[in-house]
Chain A
Amino acid sequence: MTRADVLVVILAAALLAVLYAHFWSAPTLAAQVRVQEGNQPPRIYALDQDRVIRVRGPLGDSVLRIRHGRVRFVSSPCRGKICVHAGWLSHAGEAAACVPNRVSVQVLGQDPRFDAINS
């Protein structure tokens, strides 16, 4: 192997490092959460302040908790508890909803990764 060969391999490895840093960097962390109840205008809360939010829906109160930059449903007066099982939401674009109680939350970031998902 010549010296130039070694240089090529080193440069290639450096390129790989750049590629990993660029394409595998952590997804945008959340900054805010948007809470929507029925047809009410959405309310937006910052995720850097820990708090508990009660949202009154047709079935009763859904309780949300914001903690360490994440948000989750703590409880909701629905049967399936899908919203509670969704767990902590921390990345921009993530969402959870309690459809029976007509409450939904969506995490917003500076730079949302997806604005819509078809499935």
Chain B
Amino acid sequence: MPSIPEEVAASTGQVRIATGGADHRIAWLAALAITIHIAEGALPSPLPGIKPGLANVVTIAVLVQYGWSQAAWVSLLRVLIGSLLLGTFLSPTFLLSASGAAASISMLGLASRLPGLGPVGYSVLAAMAHMAGQFTVAYFLFIRHPALLHLLPVLMTAALIFGMVSGIIALMMLNGLRTAHS
């Protein structure tokens, strides 16, 4: 991009924001997460609300490698841009997705303070929090029916299984990265 002298930039009202290495990394990894998110959106789901959530592999890997705030950015950008691309922005689906992401990223904030946890533990906690957050919003905002509560154990079981799967994938990926770098 040709650089514009500062006084010209100021007169044309152009604003430049300096971006650092972390910003670029977040953008790349968010792009990866969004790609997985959208590819997964094309898969058929056995039950509404149940899907593998493989994009969280990226979130977990970022959490382990670069810390919580970058993981939160990747998660936030994925939900926002993913919904824009899928056309669900501000729809109920988006609201559920956003509440799940908010719950899981808060849970990861707490979990990253605990000692000894690895990708699998993070992923399981994130998946369970994601489902619990999503379910709470679905119950109180959309369908406040006692019958919905019967679904909760099934949904949480799915969350545990998919959380473990994502966690193991993240673990393998991080191990692969480590051996590649050394």
Interaction A to B: yes
Listed in ascending order, the chain A residues whose CB lies under 8 Å from chain B are 1-5, 7-9, 12-13, 15-16, 19-20, 23-24
Total cross-chain contacts (CB, 8 A): 56
Known: A4-B118, A16-B157; 12 extra A-B contacts, CB below 8 A, are: A1-B171, A2-B116, A4-B114, A4-B121, A5-B120, A5-B124, A5-B167, A8-B125, A9-B120, A9-B121, A23-B149, A24-B150
The SS class assigned to the B binding surface is helix
Q: Which of B85-101 contact A (CB under 8 A)?
A: none
Q: Would B116 and A9 count as touching, CB distance under 8 A?
A: no
Q: A12-B128, A23-B149, A23-B150 are in contact. Are A5 and B156 (CB under 8 A)?
A: no
In the bound complex, how far is the Cα of B114 from the Cα of A7, in angstroms?
A: 12
Within 8 Å by CB of B152, from A1, A3, A13, A23, lies: A23
Q: Which listed residue (B120, B156, B163) contacts A1, Cβ 8 A?
A: B120
Using a CB–CB cutoff of 8 Å, the interface residues on chain B facing chain A are 114-121, 124-125, 128, 149-150, 152-153, 156-157, 160, 163-164, 167, 171
